[in-house]
Structure 1
Amino acid sequence: MTDSPIISISPATNITNNTTTTQNRKCLRIPSFNVQNYLAEHLHISPYLIAELLRAFISFVCLVIAAFLCTFGIQWSDFRWKSSNYDMEPLVDLGFNMIPQIDYVFLADITMLTLFVGSLVINLIIAKSNTARIVIFRRICWMLSFLLIFRMITISVTTLPSPKKCTPLNPGDFPNMLKNSVDLIAGNVKACTDNIFSGHSTFITIGVILFRVYCRYKFIVYYSYLHGLVALSLLIATRMHYTVDIILAVFITYSAHSIYFFIVDLCIEKHFLKIKRTEDIIGDKELYQRIAYVPNMFNTNLVGVIRWMDGLDIRFRHEAEKARDINWEHSRPSNEMMNETIQIEISQSPNEGEPSHNPRKF
């Protein structure tokens, strides 16, 4: 019985397939009209960079809105403290007993601003690309937006007496509230019940985290730790905040960043590396629940939200197109191969007891 012939085709016969692939690539690259493509075409900037900038602008707008909402909560807290009949004396604080009081409040503001602004500027300068700079800026805006909104809630629900002698703010009508908000953001005025949790400590902790995460110079990172401790101590020494305000601010800020970066890793594993969850790997949901007892994971929706906030979907598409272009360059036939004659070798498998035939070449 004669076996089917074995056909060997040289690599040059892949020209047709590569041509088809080229046509498909061209079809895939036809952009749809939108604001991103329009700006990229007229500004001569990559559409991916435009997309990153647009989301950075959205994050900055959210930060401005959150800042004003937080100042509204501070003014409301001052008004409640002023109109209440409660004791106006400061609470007992262990930090006040340990650190002597100083009257130079501006020292706390200076140390906080120099650490936060310095860390932001330095990390933006030493970043390796414009996209990295945009990502760092956007992450800071998102983190501050969440923390300021959360701070507005904590200040609004509970009013603590001022840790120092102070004249509370008078909100008045809405235009006056806006004016007070601008003065509070600019640092021209100080509120009395701007306590739990500490906004100064939040900015100080973010400054240290910026250096710890993005800075590759260890001596700068170690200096930021020392600068942060001095700045936090000055908050207690100037009686701007209770010790509990500072402790909670450091913990909440660090926790928010830890959760954020953890979910960034989850997004990369799920949407880019296609790594399955434990439940999917086991393949038996009932068995997984008998072991884990977590029928509804709390962070399921956060993965999609952080993916959009951080711009991971933009960078996923960008890296996918880069990988596709690299693979195309490696698989594209050279000019010499294009000019070669296609050579097909057919070898007939011999019957039993018959000598083998030499392959015929065409």
Structure 2
Amino acid sequence: MTLYIGREASKLWKRVCAETTTEINLLADNWKYILTGLILQYIHGLAARGVHYLHRPGPTLQDAGFFLLPELGEDKAYISETVFTFAFLSFVMWTFHPFIFKSKKIYTVLVWCRVLAFLVASQFLRIITFYSTQLPGPNYHCREGSKLARLPHPESVFEVLLINFPRGITHGCGDLIFSSHMIFTLVFVLTYQKYGTKRCIKQLGWLVAVVQSFLIIASRKHYTVDVTVAWYTVNLVVFFLDKKLPELPDRTGGASFLLPLSTRDKDSKTKEESHKLLNGNSVDPADWV
């Protein structure tokens, strides 16, 4: 029994090391895209923080979802965030599953390049819409009488650039149309829909997206229009952008790991084959030793 556990642990360690080498090679060629995507995530947070300075609380707008769905209350608003956190962490763990499991269909770095592209495109449209018209926020901390509903003028530029993380992210006002939580949720679900292998998890993903939509409205974090616009906008963005991006190489055909190489010639060969992967070309498994 001990021998079996030791042998399996050794195989797992070799798999992790080999996969790490593969992803490092891909990251070396794609770090600019990853870094740009992360920087634009910060810019999106900066824009959301900026519109909070423009927010003016007022009467909550008439909303069909508010009539149909009972209000959860401020003490139960965490339920929506809990579901979102579950979806977020589940997707992140799935993107790193090639480091552990043998049944690999994706490359982690390449998947995140696509995910960041979808997020950035959707968030760019979001910034345009919530700066076009500022609506009175329906959330509890955005209503008249709340100290957080209006932000005082910043005392320095650093106060704006630091965006009061993380409270500035979770207690923002004015960035309504359309829902950022739904952007992330739908991008994750659509990505797994295409590259995932478990049908039951795909169905669960769509169910979580629907439940998340209702919870966002019931917790009064967004108006119904914010969620509705997110559903068709994100789907359209992913549909059209997915056609423009190079397709990911499929690993289910039996492609092996990029194993650590010691000689200069083999290092050069590894880089050459990594470029083939990035271009979507197939790699002959027999080439890898």
For residues 157-168 of structure 1, what are the structure 2 equivalents within 5 Å?
Answer: 157-165=132-140, 166=142, 167-168=148-149
Tell me the equivalent position of 2:42.
68
Match of 2:72 among 102, 111, 130: 102
Matched letter for residue 79 of structure 1: Y
Partners of 1:140 and 1:162 in 2: how far apart? 29
Matched letter for residue 78 of structure 1: H
Instruction: Find runs of 4+ consecutive structure 1 residues off by over 4 angstroms.
Output: 43-51, 126-131, 265-268, 320-326
Matched letter for residue 102 of structure 1: L
Within the alignment, does 1:177 sit opposite 2:153 as a pair?
A: no
1:116 Cα shift?
2.3
Matched letter for residue 191 of structure 2: L
Partners of 2:283 and 2:187 in 1: how far apart? 34
Which structure is larger by alpha-carbon Rg, 1 or 2?
1
Tell me the equivalent position of 1:138.
113
1:242 Cα shift?
0.7
* Cα displacement string for residues 142-171 of structure 1 (whole angstroms, at most 9, x for unaligned residues): 222222233222222221111134223346
RMSD: 3.4
Partners of 2:19 and 2:212 in 1: how far apart? 41
Matched letter for residue 122 of structure 2: L
* Cα displacement string for residues 70-101 of structure 1 (whole angstroms, at most 9, x for unaligned residues): 2222233222224xxxx711111101100011
Against the structure 1 CA distance between its residues 238 and 56, is the aligned structure 2 distance closer, same or farther, given a 3 Å change threshold? farther
Decide whether the 8 Å contact of 1:49 with 1:131 is kept in 2: no
Against the structure 1 CA distance between its residues 80 and 321, is the aligned structure 2 distance closer, same or farther, given a 3 Å change threshold? closer
Greater alpha carbon shift after TM alignment, 246-255 vs 164-173 = 164-173
Tell me the equivalent position of 2:32.
58
Within the alignment, does 1:91 sit opposite 2:72 as a pair?
A: no
Against the structure 1 CA distance between its residues 92 and 182, is the aligned structure 2 distance closer, same or farther, given a 3 Å change threshold? same
Decide whether the 8 Å contact of 2:37 with 2:117 is kept in 1: yes
* Cα displacement string for residues 161-185 of structure 1 (whole angstroms, at most 9, x for unaligned residues): 1113422334612211133252257
Against the structure 1 CA distance between its residues 131 and 99, is the aligned structure 2 distance closer, same or farther, given a 3 Å change threshold? closer
User: Can you give the 5+ residue segments of structure 2 that lack an aligned partner in the other structure?
Assistant: 1-16, 143-147, 250-273
Decide whether the 8 Å contact of 2:246 with 2:280 is kept in 1: no
For residues 245-260 of structure 1, what are the structure 2 equivalents within 5 Å?
Answer: 245-260=226-241
User: Can you give the 5+ residue segments of structure 1 that lack an aligned partner in the other structure?
Assistant: 1-42, 269-311, 327-362
Against the structure 1 CA distance between its residues 170 and 54, is the aligned structure 2 distance closer, same or farther, given a 3 Å change threshold? farther
Against the structure 1 CA distance between its residues 241 and 69, is the aligned structure 2 distance closer, same or farther, given a 3 Å change threshold? same
Within the alignment, does 1:315 sit opposite 2:277 as a pair?
A: yes
